[in-house]
């Protein structure tokens, strides 16, 4: 681990976050794997990374819980500062707004927006001192177009797109690059129960994406070759939204 650059990936126990963790480990980063509760899956991702010759550390905490975030990250940040932060942790609680519970509204905004704030705030302060860093926020097509039944999720992801653009301008002089990656339908636990027969006709490329379709772009955005790209939102959605 000594001397390796660090990438903190939130929500990396499965799905898109796990693919990002695997790819960035392959790129030579030591991965701080955050997740909330699925220890078994997180151990499995860590095992894959180590088996492939990479390094990682498991960091379970709820990104929406500011005290928990600080308790885990502050002692680590005293010693080392991640070069890369990927804000990926999240979930949806779909339902029409007229019937949405306050908890479903609040929890979705909390995990995506407060989660972004809690983790980014504490890491960014250190990145700014080092004058170096990459931040990637995983947003969604839902934050760019309207999708019925996802008003809470769309609001959260659209908010994160706004935060990406403003933060990019705010920290550009410190050599910190901030971008968003916006997946369409990707095959993960989150989309497992969606009706495929209704979704596929909406995707010009005719297939649901794989987590690796997203992680490849994140890997590029974290590389030296992406050093002049900031404040952008990149769609990975098989051509669904233009």
Do 41 and 14 form a contact (C-beta atoms < 8 A)? yes
The residue within the footprint of ligand NAP, chosen from 6, 29, 32, 62 (CB under 6 A), is 62
Strands of the sheet containing 133-138, edge to edge, are 55-60, 30-35, 6-9, 84-87, 133-138, 176-183, 233-236
* 217 near ligand NAP (CB under 6 A): no
Q: How far apart are CA 138 and CA 154, in angstroms?
A: 13
* 145 near ligand NAP (CB under 6 A): no
Which of these segments, 1-9, 24-32, 56-64, 170-178, binds ligand NAP (CB under 6 A)?
A: 56-64
**Per-residue interface string for the shown chain with ligand NAP, residues 107-136, x marking contact by CB under 6 A:** ----x-------------------------
The residue within the footprint of ligand NAP, chosen from 64, 123, 168, 180 (CB under 6 A), is 64
Do 78 and 2 form a contact (C-beta atoms < 8 A)? no
Is-catalytic flag, 153?
Answer: yes
Q: How far apart are CA 211 and CA 206, in angstroms?
A: 16
Which of these segments, 9-17, 167-175, 195-203, 216-224, binds ligand NAP (CB under 6 A)?
A: 9-17
Do 180 and 141 form a contact (C-beta atoms < 8 A)? no
The residue within the footprint of ligand NAP, chosen from 29, 35, 116, 234 (CB under 6 A), is 35
Which one of the listed residues 116, 153, 185, 234 is annotated catalytic? 153
* 38 near ligand NAP (CB under 6 A): yes
Residue 211 CA, chain-centre distance (Å), reads 12
**Per-residue interface string for the shown chain with ligand NAP, residues 152-191, x marking contact by CB under 6 A:** -------------------------------x-xx-xxxx
Report DSSP letters for 35-73, one per residue. ESS-HHHHHHHHHHHHHTT-EEEEEE--TT-HHHHHHHH
Compute the least distance from the CB of residue 31 to ligand NAP, in Å.
13
Q: How far apart are CA 214 and CA 63, in angstroms?
A: 21
**Surface-to-core class of residue 8, CB atoms within 10 Å of its CB (0-12 exposed, 13-18 middle, 19+ buried):** buried
Compute the least distance from the CB of residue 34 to ligand NAP, in Å.
6
Residue positions annotated with a catalytic role: 153
The contact set with ligand NAP (CB under 6 A) reads 10-17, 34-38, 62-64, 88-91, 111, 138, 140, 183, 185-186, 188-191
């Amino acid at each position: 681990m000594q001397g390796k650059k660090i990438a903190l990936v939130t929500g990396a126990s499965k799905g898109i976050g796990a693919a990002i963790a695997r790819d960035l480990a392959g790129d030579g980063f030591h991965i701080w794997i955050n997740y909330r509760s699925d220890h078994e899956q997180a151990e499995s991702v860590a095992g894959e990374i180590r088996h492939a010759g990479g390094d990682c550390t498991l960091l379970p905490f709820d990104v929406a819980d500011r005290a928990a975030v600080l308790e885990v990250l502050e002692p680590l940040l005293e010693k080392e500062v991640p070069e890369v932060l990927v804000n990926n942790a999240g979930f949806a609680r779909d339902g029409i707004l007229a019937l949405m519970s306050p908890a479903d509204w609040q929890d979705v905004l909390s995990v995506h927006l407060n989660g972004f704030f809690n983790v980014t705030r504490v890491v960014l302060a250190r990145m700014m001192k080092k004058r170096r860093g990459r931040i990637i926020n995983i947003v969604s097509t839902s934050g760019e177009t309207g999708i019925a039944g996802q008003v809470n999720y769309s609001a959260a992801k659209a908010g994160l797109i706004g935060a990406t653009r403003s933060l990019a301008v705010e920290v550009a002089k410190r050599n910190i690059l901030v971008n968003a990656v916006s997946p369409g339908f990707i095959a993960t636990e989150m989309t497992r129960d969606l009706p495929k027969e209704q979704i596929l006709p909406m995707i010009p490329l005719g297939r649901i994406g794989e987590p690796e379709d997203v992680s490849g772009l994140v890997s590029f955005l974290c590389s030296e070759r992406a050093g002049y790209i900031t404040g952008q939102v990149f769609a990975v959605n098989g051509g669904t939204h233009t």
